[in-house]
Amino acid sequence: MSLPLSCNPCSVAARLRLRRVPVLGAAGARAGPGPSPALALALTNTNNCAFHPSAPVAHCRHLRRLHHHRQRKQPLAVPLNTTFPLRPRSPSRPTPSAICITQSPLATMASATSFYDFKPVDKRGEPKPLEEYKGKVVLVVNTASKCGFTPQFEGLEKLYKGLKEKHPDDFVIVGFPCNQFGGQDPGTNDEIQSFCQVNYGVSFPIYGKIDVNGDKADPLYEWLKNEQPGLMGLKRIKWNFEKFLIGRDGKVKGRWASTTKPESLEKPILEQLNNKE
């Protein structure tokens, strides 16, 4: 294919009167020659030659080669031996040695050997060691304030007071509010405490609200479920007011579903209370 005269490299070069145009670097230093404005215009047109619209720029390869040749000869704007100061570490970014690594719930559960090894949060959100119940028989219940089983608070309180009269220092019930089942315990810890005391006269300890299932489940409940799975080996807590019985040795002795009434648990609790080992 023959090119029009206007796209002949020689005639284009003659027309442009190519000359060495100084190009300034970032610091104002002379960086080397560059193309003339007209040549730059021709090279930046990606579709057709600036001098002959019907001829593609690809045909003006001599112009491109000339431009690339000039570019290769340009010196670096920054000398090779230039050094740059390191940016200081931001005060808000702690060093690796200052990062505090907290123990995961799974690690806590794996290292636990008994009920007394856990520290669930109390109503103020502060860890409260269960070691204070060491040597006692404990009934653990996940509770809710707006559940069909909520009236079991009355039966739990009656059971608690009755056994406390006979075994004042050997038995305790602990409640753990949970909002995972139908959103039936949406209140704050203070609201839950007030509800239990005003409506059912609850005097046994009610801890802070926790999760009993899922990724955020409290380590205590992860341990309880592993120690005593439910029917057919299912570990998951199915609903509010499931019960776990802890013996004097801190081991799980029994598990009952939500439908089990508190008064029906007096016999297995007494068996553990009478076991002094």
Q: Could you give the CA distance from residue 236 to residue 75 in angstroms, rounded to a whole number?
A: 71
Q: Could you give the CA distance from residue 186 to residue 178 in angstroms, rounded to a whole number?
A: 9
Q: Are 203 and 164 contacting, i.e. CB atoms less than 8 angstroms apart?
A: no
Using CB atoms within 10 Å of the CB of residue 68, give its burial: 0 to 12 exposed, 13 to 18 middle, 19+ buried. Answer: exposed
Q: Could you give the CA distance from residue 51 to residue 14 in angstroms, rounded to a whole number?
A: 13
Q: Are 192 and 206 contacting, i.e. CB atoms less than 8 angstroms apart?
A: yes
The CA–CA distances, whole Å, from 144 to 9, 120, 206 equal 88, 17, 11
Q: Element (H or E) spanning 222, and its range?
A: helix 219-227
Q: Three-state DSSP class for 131?
A: helix
Spatial neighbors of 1 by CB under 8 A, at least 6 apart, are 59
Q: Are 265 and 139 contacting, i.e. CB atoms less than 8 angstroms apart?
A: yes
Q: Are 22 and 33 contacting, i.e. CB atoms less than 8 angstroms apart?
A: yes
Catalytic residues: 147
Q: Could you give the CA distance from residue 136 to residue 114 in angstroms, rounded to a whole number?
A: 13
The residue to which tokens 């390191």 are assigned: 86
And the tokens for 82?
A: 């230039």
Q: Are 192 and 186 contacting, i.e. CB atoms less than 8 angstroms apart?
A: no
